[in-house]
Structure 1
């Protein structure tokens, strides 16, 4: 079993390296057989080299800010704020580590922002 501290550090390094576009350091956090999934688009990328290429080729001048990381055993969750120009998106990212503490599975959830339905203003506040 992977330690929570080790996986947390791997996820911190993953995001710091992604933000710095340091694909060598980014790749060092990944297992060779990593699987990356995006449920909203139903895409799956298998293998470290393909996932590294996906990230190297990802368009735009995006920036990730980690808001929270929670790790327990061989699983971790991060909550990030992604900025690209004036556009902001929040994402939840699920990570699983192998016995060596490398990330072996990632699932990213990228919900689109939307306006709340009318009629519940008395229950909620906007932020």
Structure 2
């Protein structure tokens, strides 16, 4: 049976919103790679991405606006909401055997990434 990638990426955002980090981690491949080309940030590994999301400075919420998925990939458009702003985010997912192996985040609006309390972020 082919995994439902549409459901997997929706679950990615819902578990992140709920701060259910065990369920969030279960969706990720151990060798996952996450990149944000705009800010030249990269995170390697499941635990790194969980740490990155878990330690985001301040309250936030991702409202999924659109999801498109096929047999190997998916994309979501989100409203990323904090108490002081709202931004559009576009995330490209690569999936294999029911887990997310790669994410690439694009943010159409210019911004500087916030200071991070986590050491998992690499700059390239």
TM over 0.5: yes
Match of residue 55 from structure 2: 57
Structure 1, unmatched stretches of 5+, are 114-127
* RMSD after superposition: 1.4
Match of residue 34 from structure 2: 36
1:102 paired to 2:99: yes
By how many angstroms is 1:86 displaced?
3.4
Match of residue 115 from structure 2: none
Moved more, 104-113 or 74-83: 104-113
Structure 1 distance, partners of 2:48, 2:84, is: 29
* Aligned residue runs from structure 1 range 1-127, under 5 A: 3=2, 6-98=4-96, 100-112=97-109
Match of residue 122 from structure 2: none
Structure 2 distance, partners of 1:44, 1:88, is: 23
Aligned residues: 110
Structure 1 distance, partners of 2:82, 2:51, is: 20
Larger Rg: 1
Matched residue SS, 2:4: helix
Moved over 4 A (4+): none
